[in-house]
Amino acid sequence: MEQVEVLIGTLTDLNQISTDQETKKVRAIQDRAKCSWLRLQHGRQVDAIIGVQQIYYERNKVENPYSVVLDELISQDVKEGFKQRPLQYILVGDQVKGIASLKHLLIPPEQVLKVAGEIADTQGLELAKEEGLAGLVSTDREIGGIKLGFHIYPGDILTRKAISVSSYASTIMCTNPLTWAGIGNFGRFGLDKQHERILRIERITELRPRLENAIKGSRELLGRLQEVIEKSRKTRVKSKEAKTILTAFCTAYGIGLTPIEETIKRLTLEPKSTFGMAQAASWVARHGETWRKTPKDQEGHARQRMATVGAASLLIDDPKDIYAKALKWLEGRLPQKPEWLTP
């Protein structure tokens, strides 16, 4: 991975950052970072301004309307001498890929995992790398052919992913991983999110006690997790419901159609239950062929998203209800309906 650098300063141009020590030119600022800049300078109300101007440019066939709007708004602020808040500019190579306020503590993932390892040692636990997952996992117990434990995801210095401690499960026979790290993405479908604890740390002194409490809380949930898994084995789901729900879950998590298709094909080999859905997604997370072209430094994150889709499937109490919500949510989100969703 390219070198990560954090600069504290203000923008003097769309491609120039001024700090107390230097003025540095950058090749580009990603749109996501530009949007963060505008929100941090003007508040969430700027979203409405962006939206209105984007619609105007779309109607006038302007190429890349969203990017154009962001560039215009930032350039206008800089040109008119808007009094900027100093911010943290996160550079990867020569590009700004993230922008954060000075209140946002940027902790290197390695430091998070080091502290987590020290906590695990004091509790007589072992943390280990799990193929297909970013971060580390610890197995607390084995019940009915399934390993149960917790998963520590150390966050992302680009500020896009917070530190999280979540429940973790793995089928022993097939070694398919399931993780609840990132389960909050499925709140729109009404799923229970209690199996994940997201840690937003503002002071480095908070890191150890917050991690200790999160690990303790995750271990206390394992009895409940066992009940969830056993119930999922008996929760029947129709083929069309399973395909639609998995497509919606994967799409909501930014997973492309190719890995979704592989998951749908695997579904035919699994039990017709929410447990079978989980197994199909977790099988693709571990053994799938669709990750071959994924950059090596992103492969763990990509596989983890699919493992989280599998974990989310276990939380489905009423497949009919989630199916209806998934159908509604998918409306207009796919450019072309895939063949597995056609009657």
Instruction: Tell which residue, 183, 125, 174, 141, has the closest CA to residue 279.
Output: 174
Q: pTM higher than 0.95, yes or no?
A: no
Cα–Cα separations (whole angstroms), residue 336 to 17, 231, 275: 42, 35, 28
The C-alpha angle 178, 180, 183, rounded to 5 degrees, equals 130
Q: Give 113-153 pLDDT, tens digit per residue.
A: 999 999 999 988 999 998 778 899 998 888 878 899 999 99
Residue tagged 């080091």 (tokens): 114
In angstroms, how far is the first alpha carbon of the chain from the final one?
A: 44
3-class secondary structure, 181: coil
Q: What residue spans of 103-195 are helical by DSSP H?
A: 109-122
Q: Give 239-283 pLDDT, tens digit per residue.
A: 999 999 999 999 998 898 999 999 999 999 999 999 999 999 999
Cα–Cα separations (whole angstroms), residue 43 to 35, 46, 101, 104, 212: 11, 6, 12, 16, 34
On whether the CB atoms of residues 131 and 286 are closer than 8 A, the answer is yes
On whether the CB atoms of residues 73 and 50 are closer than 8 A, the answer is yes
Residue tagged 């159908």 (tokens): 327
The C-alpha angle 294, 295, 299, rounded to 5 degrees, equals 65
Sign for the CA dihedral angle at 259, 265, 266, 270 comes to positive
- Cα 160 from Cα 99, distance rounded (Å): 10
Cα pseudo-dihedral 27, 29, 30, 32, rounded to 10: 170
Contacts of 312 (CB under 8 A, 6+ apart): 180, 183, 186, 191, 249
- The 8-class DSSP code of residue 342 comes to -
- pLDDT per residue of the chain (343 residues) written in tens, 0 to 9: 567 788 999 999 999 999 999 999 999 999 999 999 999 999 989 999 999 999 999 999 999 999 999 999 999 999 999 999 999 998 888 899 989 888 877 788 888 999 999 999 998 899 999 877 889 999 888 887 889 999 999 987 765 677 899 999 988 767 788 999 888 888 889 898 889 988 888 788 889 999 999 999 988 888 888 899 999 999 999 999 999 999 999 999 889 899 999 999 999 999 999 999 999 999 999 888 888 777 776 777 888 899 999 999 999 999 999 999 999 999 888 878 899 998 7
- The 8-class DSSP code of residue 202 comes to S
- Cα 141 from Cα 69, distance rounded (Å): 53
Other beta carbons within 10 angstroms of residue 125's beta carbon come to 17
- Cα 305 from Cα 179, distance rounded (Å): 9
On whether the CB atoms of residues 308 and 183 are closer than 8 A, the answer is yes
